[in-house]
Amino acid sequence: MTDIIKELEDRGYIEQLTHDEEIRELFKKESVSFYIGIDPTANSMHIGHFVALMVASRLQKAGHRPIILMGGGTATIGDPSGRTDMRQMLTREQLDSNVAEIKKQAERFVSFEGDNAAIIVNNADWLLDLKYIDFMKEIGSQFTMSKMLAQECYKNRLETGLTFFEMGYLLLQSYDFLYLHKKYNCKLQIGGNDQWSNIIGGVELIRKLDSNEAYGLTFKLLTTADGKKMGKTAKGALWLNPERTSPYEFYQYWRNIGDTEVEKVLSLLTYLPTEEVKRLSSLKDAEINEAKKIAAYEITKLIHGEEEAKKAAEAAEALFGGNKNTDNMPTTELSSRNISILDAMIEAKLVSSKGQAKDLINQGGISLNDEKITDIKYVLSEKDFKEGYAIIQKGKKVFHKIV
């Protein structure tokens, strides 16, 4: 089998391995079942999950079997890692519906066909029926407080308040791994680097109770050059669900990344060959825009499919390249063509309040059909819809068609 771990490493995915050599050997000699956990805390994944799916996808293509674990049970607790506050708890109903949505998205990345078909499991299926006393006896006895408290994520939380309830998260996640290990012979858990301590917990638990074939792998989190999380927008996270973040907006996000992010984004979020990634990211000055276009197209294609990616690319080309093709522009049908520009902007969801819309106009940030709007009381009329539509431009990059 191919040395997939080496490939992942070359590609820049890997942050840490629990057992460097053993893992490399294992993946060379057999088809390995591995799992990745996803918390269904929203009805869509965001780009934070993207890298995880890419890793899972690559491992599967190399012949290994992905187990996608939906944290329907653990999400009721909330992972304390990397958080300063306790997560808001969700109801069972919300969680169930989120799980269903997220499943659909995961299906774009991993295949459910063939010898190493991926499987999806929900830890609610086994966690919810646990008996407390039995669990504490069997699992709880394997963990020492001193070790848990020494972990960075708990240390921080210790100062702001950490409940026993939340500490249980580590035990549950470790138990998940043990469960999957026994039931599906799952040997590796992968996760973002913030999951390191949770992953080690599971690895050690299995090694104590069952066998020595348990490993962990963490991948890099998507951050900008200055260490901030990528994927923040005015509307919050960059979602994979097209209703939350349209393919066009999604494309634009990647089209607009900083030069320093190009290489990371290309190598982590696309399947382009490594040489191509190198070539593209070494482009200088204005030429690097080509690399960004490719990155945006490829990434959008992965999430939203080729057709949507093409549309987004064409829409961008039309707007920024001079030709005024508006076919693929995000479009809103207004309640009336005789409303104020302010209301139109709100209906098109370009702004969240009239005050914001006014500020933008006052700052010269809004154009209608290429003409800068200067009057905040401007009212739309038929003459603005000469070709059957009008185009509102917010800033330099945001275009919206209204009909």
Partner RNA sequence: GGGCAGGUGGUCGAGUGGUUAAUGGCACCAGACUGUAAAUCUGGCCGCGAGAGCGUACGAUGGUUCGAAUCCAUCUCUGCCCA
Binding site for RNA (CB under 7 A): 84-85, 158-163, 226, 228, 232-234, 252, 255-259, 285-286, 288-289, 292-293, 316-317, 319-320, 342, 352-356, 358-360, 363-365, 376-377, 394-398
Residues 6+ apart with CB under 8 A from 321: none
Q: Which residue, among 12, 41, 28, has the nearest Cα to 239 in the 3D structure?
A: 41
The single residue listed with the structure tokens 């093409």 is: 310
195 DSSP assignment:
G
CB of 16 to RNA, least distance (A): 26
Find the shortest distance in angstroms from Cβ 214 to RNA. Answer: 33
Which of 69, 291 has the CB closer to RNA?
291
Q: Per-residue b/e over 162-190, b at no fewer than 16 CB within 10 Å?
A: beeebbbbbbbbbbbbbbbbeeeebbbbb
Closer to RNA at the Cβ: 133 or 336?
A: 336
Q: Given 3-state DSSP classes, what are the helix, strand and coil percentages for the chain, each rounded to the nearest 5?
A: 50, 15, 35
Taking the C-alpha atoms of residue 197 and residue 344, their distance in angstroms, rounded to an integer, is 49
- Residue 3 or residue 317: which is nearer to RNA going by CB? 317
Nearer Cβ to RNA (17/345): 345
**Least Å distance between CB 249 and RNA?**
10
Which ranges constitute the DSSP H helices of 64-163?
92-106, 124-127, 132-138, 145-149, 152-160
Identify which of residues 282 and 353 has a Cβ nearer to RNA in the complex.
353
- In the complex, what is the shortest distance from the CB of residue 307 to RNA, in angstroms, rounded to a whole number? 18
Q: What DSSP designation does 273 have? A: -
* Smallest distance from RNA to CB 50, Å: 17
Q: Which is nearer to RNA, 41 or 289 (CB)?
A: 289
Closer residue to RNA, CB minimum distance, 119 or 288 = 288
CB of 289 or CB of 331, closer to RNA: 289
Alpha carbon distance, N-terminus to C-terminus of the chain: 56
CB of 131 to RNA, least distance (A): 26
C-beta contacts of 224-231 below 8 A and 24+ residues apart: 224/258, 224/260, 224/261, 225/258, 225/260, 225/261, 229/48, 230/47, 230/257, 230/261, 231/46, 231/47, 231/48
Nearest to 130 by CA among 194, 199, 197, 77: 77
The pair of structure tokens assigned to 174 is 């470790």
Closer residue to RNA, CB minimum distance, 50 or 399: 399
Contacts of 55 (CB under 8 A, 6+ apart): 8, 13, 36, 190, 219
- Taking the complex as a whole, the smallest distance from the CB of residue 235 to RNA amounts, in Å, to 8
**Six token digits for residue 301:** 């294609």
Nearer to RNA, 14 or 291 (CB): 291
Cβ-based nearer residue to RNA, 205 or 296: 296
Q: How far is the CB of 32 from RNA (least distance, A)?
A: 38
Residue pair 261/230 in contact (Cβ under 8 Å)? The answer is yes
Least Å distance, CB 368 to RNA, is: 13
**What is the Cα–Cα distance from 370 to 372, expressed in whole angstroms?**
6
- Least distance (Å) between residue 178 CB and RNA: 29
CB of 29 to RNA, least distance (A): 44
Check if the beta carbon of residue 16 is closer than 8 Å to that of residue 193.
Answer: yes
Nearest C-alpha neighbor of 247 from the set 164, 316, 190 = 316
